[in-house]
Amino acid sequence: MPDTLEWQTGSFLKDVERRSGTPVGACFQCHKCSTGCPIAPDMDLLSSQVMRMIHLGQEGSVLESRAIWLCASCEACTTRCPMQIDVAAVMDSLRMMAVERKVELGDPRGEQFNRSFLQSVCRHGRVFELGMMVAYKIRSRDFWTDAEKSGKMFSKGKLSLLPKRSGSAWEVARLFRRAEEEEKKR
C-alpha cells in the first residue's frame, strides 16, 4: 500500500482520531510513550514515530508496520502521555484498519498470533494456550520455532491438553459480538 499525499487533507489523521476516540493531532513528539514501551526494542517504528507518521498521512507505512502487531496493549504509553492521548487505543485502531483494508504485511506473524489469541478467548472465555499455539502454527506454517519449549511447559503444568472454559464465557462471547456490532456502525 503506497503512502499518499493525505497530509493535504488530513483524512488519515481524522480517520484514526475518530476510530480511536483520542486526539492524535495533539501529539508534540515528547517521546515519553516510546521510552516507556516494553516492546520498543523489537518494533520497526516507535509509538511516537507512528503518531508523527499519522500526522503526515503516511498510511501505507503505518498500516504495513510490524509495530502495530507487536504492540501488547499494555497501556504504558497511554499512562505516560502528557497530552492524555490513548496511544494503545490508536495502535488497536490501526490493527483494525489494516485488517479491513486487507493490507499485505511483510511479516504477517503478529497478525496471525493476534487472530489466534482472540479466537481462543472468544471460544473459551479465556485463552486455551495449547489450542492457541496449534491455531497459530497452522496459520503461520512455522511448526518448529519454540517447539522444544512445549515439553518443558507440559512438565511444569503450564500447558493443559484440554481447555478450561471460563464461567463467564458467555459474557465474553457477548462482548465480542457487541464489539463487532459497534465496529460495523463506524
Binding site residues, ligand SF4, CB under 6 A: 27-33, 36-37, 39, 47-48, 51, 71-77, 80-83, 85, 87-88, 91
> Within the chain, where are the H helices?
11-20, 32-35, 47-55, 59-63, 67-70, 76-80, 87-100, 109-124, 129-140, 149-155, 169-185
> How far apart are CB 37 and ligand SF4 at their closest, in Å?
3
> How far apart are CB 164 and ligand SF4 at their closest, in Å?
27
Q: Which is nearer to ligand SF4, 97 or 130 (CB)?
A: 97
> How far apart are CB 3 and ligand SF4 at their closest, in Å?
20
Q: Which is nearer to ligand SF4, 77 or 132 (CB)?
A: 77
> How far apart are CB 30 and ligand SF4 at their closest, in Å?
4
Q: Which is nearer to ligand SF4, 85 or 130 (CB)?
A: 85
Distance (Å, whole) CA 13 – CA 25: 7
Distance (Å, whole) CA 91 – CA 113: 16
> How far apart are CB 55 and ligand SF4 at their closest, in Å?
10
Q: Which is nearer to ligand SF4, 72 or 147 (CB)?
A: 72
Q: Which is nearer to ligand SF4, 18 or 174 (CB)?
A: 18
Dig out the grid coordinates for 55 from the structure: 500526522
Closest CA to 108 of 120, 95, 127: 95
Distance (Å, whole) CA 181 – CA 131: 26
